[in-house]
Structure 1
Amino acid sequence: MLRITLEQWRMFKSVVEYGGFNQASEGVNKSQSSIHNAVGKIEDTLGVKLFKVVGRKTEITKAGEMMLRRANYLLDEAAKVEAVGQTLGEGIEAQLRVAVDEVFPQRILYEVLDSISSQYPLLNIEIMESVLAGANELLESGEADIAVSPIELGDSFSEELCQLEMMAVACPSHPLHQLDRELELQDLRSFRQIVVRDSAVSHEKDEGWLGANQRWTVSHMRTSIDMITKGLGFAWLPVSSIDQELVNGSLIPLKLKQGRIRNVQLHLVFKDGDRLGPAARSFIGELRHKTLSLPTSESV
């Protein structure tokens, strides 16, 4: 039988966090006497002194610091036990699988994932990065619950999520910038274009301008960005993925008369909304909200 309750450990922790008994009383809305009694109960039971008075300040002792570390762990574990019970009671799914096209801004994705993980701490999340038709293929095969894709899926729910700007860019030393005039698409044919391969296996698609006489095809957007900043070619890249490179000048927009900016519509796709659990629905809601703040070429 435990002789010290979780509530007493919480009162001890509150004194440390708020810097004293009076402050803790106001912070946790408890009487000062109840906090003193809780701390006193711990000290009497364990035979240790948790605090000492130095001048007008209440300071934690060395023994108190050690007990605080243990108490923090105990309280964290208790919170996890409660979360497990809530998860089981509400029927929250154990896993969420999301296929996301690589043009989707990573910053937005990470913010959404962090928020969902905080709401559902026991949820296992699997992110599958894809290109073009790859996200829909994962959804159709049952490997993903939700897809963020530039391609609509006819027999599923498809909602326009956001529109991304793709900008034609090259590094400052690229020969296209040395022409020092407005460019035609014809000017690009003599220079290497970096393109990202469709990750779908059965329904591979080609998208975008593919008129260059020489192309290097890579599997990931980040590889494409790295190659272009090193002067190995040009490409249309998502503005939201190269905002820092545009600001620091490592990538410069090509002076195209037409087609410098191309818009890509991303879709939120899933099979059956009624089968999605609370965590999946929360993920969709956060995704819709966060995409409202996406940058454009005018804001970088």
Structure 2
Amino acid sequence: MYRPKSTLEQWRILQAVVDYGGYAQAAKALNKSQSSLNHAVTKLQDLLDVKILETVGRKAVLTEAGKALLRRSRDLTNSVSSLEQLAVNINQDWEPEITLALDLAFPRNTIYQALKTFMPESRGSRLRIIDTVLTGTLDAITSASADIVISLALPKGYLGEPIRHIEFVLVCHPKHYLASLPQPISTETLSQHLQIVISDTSDSPKENQGWLKSELRWTVSQFDSAIDLLRQNLGFCWLPLHKVEHLLSTAKLTRLYLQGSSYKQSSAFLVIPKPEHKGPGVCLLEKLILQQREIDLLCYENASQKNKIDHGTK
């Protein structure tokens, strides 16, 4: 087994000498004698047989080799600090890893904004984000395979905090045959054409959600793939409005209307599958997501009010 010649303390001393601008300043900051620091760096150079510092005038300056070693030494000491902090966090029940399952239809910006705030407070906890769809999202709740789940439905016996309404619209290419028909169209007419559907991420999917009446269906794993197919004038698809709003406004896709109702809306919930087991990291991330929900709601209300005023002025 390899036994290192140098110690972490020697590398930390070298970093301090460089960061504080000399032995005297580093000795004061570390509350050590200047001679002990000089001895530690000299011994480090002797052990490695590499010149790390050289004296220029009255100042110790890094050599090119010293610069490379210093960069790597910071990775080493940071890794050890993270390892020690992880041990403290585990001892304090702070989770070493947090799993977040997100239904693919949920707008990511809300989550990303919360994660920006969470990152500096995460104490080195790893975050694993899983994309889920339909039954796969419900499975993440019932199997407790995720610590936090953003779901468009609640399994029986589970509670969730509503965080957003998501509208789904029926869309196709502007030159698709369905787009040329008088609107609204019948479900019978719609069922005669290719439907693009998003695959269920569950190992045992249950096709009891959404409109699945077309005999000819192509299945993709994500909304972006469905949108790409639609833009090639292939099929129709139910998609979250926030995913295609810009394409509808620029006439790259067009909306279809069904007889009876073309309105589909789902509520997204934040679910903690095992609330009795949630640790401080999960509690913090849950709190930040709910705070972002309030910010998003306020922005939406302000935008709606401005829109009303603008239209009133016109």
TM-score by length of structure 1 reads 0.70
**What whole-Å deviation, never above 9, does each CA across 1:5-53 have from its counterpart, x for those lacking one?**
56534424535xxxx67xxx8xx9x87x99x989856654445453676
Counterpart of 2:66? 64
**Structure 1 match to 2:19:** 14
2:114 touches 2:285 (CA, 8 Å); kept in 1?
A: yes
Given that residues 103 and 131 in structure 2 are in contact (C-alpha distance below 8 angstroms), is that contact kept between their aligned partners in structure 1? yes
* 2:194 aligned with 1:169: no
CA–CA separation in structure 1 for the residues paired with 2:230 and 2:254: 12
**Paired residues, what number?**
282
The partner residue of 2:269 within 267, 270, 273 is 267
Are the counterparts in 2 of residues 167 and 260 from structure 1 also a CA contact under 8 Å? yes
Q: Distance between the aligned counterparts of 2:276 and 2:232, measured in 1?
A: 48
1:221 to 202, 220, 223: 223
* Structure 2 equivalent of residue 252 of structure 1: 253
- Secondary structure of the residue aligned to 2:167 is strand
> How far has the Cα of 1:77 moved from its partner?
2.1
Q: What displacement does 1:62 show?
A: 0.8
Unaligned runs of 5+ in 1: none
Where does residue 183 of structure 1 map in the other structure?
A: 183
**1:270 and 1:4, CA in 2 relative to 1: closer, same or farther beyond 3 A?**
closer
C-alpha deviation, 1:80, in angstroms: 1.4
Distance 1:96 1:84 in 2: 13
Q: Please tell me the residue identity of whatever aligns with 1:50.
A: L
Picking from 210, 216, 238, the partner of 1:236 is 238
Give CA deviations for 1:59-95 in whole Å, capped at 9, x if unaligned.
7431331231232123212321331232122112344
Question: How large is the Cα RMSD of the aligned pairs?
Answer: 4.4
TM-score after normalising by structure 2 = 0.67
CA shift digits 1:155-187 (9 cap, x unpaired): 12221122223233323443344x3x8731338
Instruction: Give the secondary-structure state (helix, strand or coil) at the position aligned to 1:185.
Output: coil
Cα pair 2:13 2:41 within 8 Å, conserved: no
Give the distance between the partners of 1:5 and 1:243, measured in 2 at CA.
Answer: 58
Counterpart-to-counterpart distance in 2, 1:42 and 1:246: 67
**Would the alpha carbon gap of residues 59 and 260 (structure 1) be closer, same or farther in structure 2, given more than 3 Å must change?**
farther
Asked if 1:276 is matched to 2:278, the reply is yes
Partner Cα distance (1:50, 1:203) in 2: 64
Contact 2:161 2:269 in 1 (8 A): yes
Secondary structure of the structure 2 residue equivalent to 1:136: helix
Instruction: Tell me the distance in 1 between the aligned counterparts of 2:60 and 2:296.
Output: 46
Residues 283 and 51 of structure 1: is their aligned pair in 2 closer, same or farther, counting only changes over 3 Å? farther
User: Could you say what secondary structure the match of 1:254 adopts?
Assistant: strand
- Asked if the contact 2:149–2:273 (Cα under 8 Å) also holds between the matched residues in 1, the reply is no
SS in 1 for 2:183: coil
Q: Deviations over 1:226-260 (max 9, x none)?
A: 3223221122212343466567x584232649866
Which runs of structure 2 are paired with 1:62-141 in the superposition (5 Å)?
Answer: 62-109=64-111, 119-123=122-126, 125-141=127-143
> Structure 1 residue 288 and structure 2 residue 293: aligned?
no
Q: d(CA) in 1 for partners of 2:7 and 2:71?
A: 18
Which residue identity does 2:53 align to in structure 1? L
How far has the Cα of 1:151 moved from its partner?
A: 0.9
Alignment match, 1:160: 162
SS of corresponding position for 1:81: helix
Partners of 2:241 and 2:14 lie apart in 1 by 50
What CA deviation, in whole Å up to 9, does each residue of 1:94-145 have, x standing for no partner? 443443322123455566567656614244x444432223222332234333
Q: CA deviation at 1:147?
A: 2.3
In 2, the alpha carbon distance for the partners of 1:207 and 1:225 equals 20
* Partner-residue secondary structure (3-state), 2:16: helix
Matched residue, 2:308: none
d(CA) in 2 for partners of 1:149, 1:50? 57
Identify which range, 113-122 or 58-67, moves more after superposition. 113-122
Report which of the two structures shows the higher radius of gyration computed on alpha carbons. 2
Letter of the structure 2 residue corresponding to residue 62 of structure 1? E
- Preserved contact between residue 153 and residue 269 of structure 1 (Cα < 8 Å): no
Alpha-carbon offset, residue 276 of structure 1:
0.9
Q: Structure 1 residues 74, 197: CA separation in 2 closer, same or farther (over 3 Å shift)? A: closer
Q: In structure 1, how many angstroms separate the alpha carbons of the residues matched to 2:41 and 2:209?
A: 70
| 1:87 partner amino acid | N
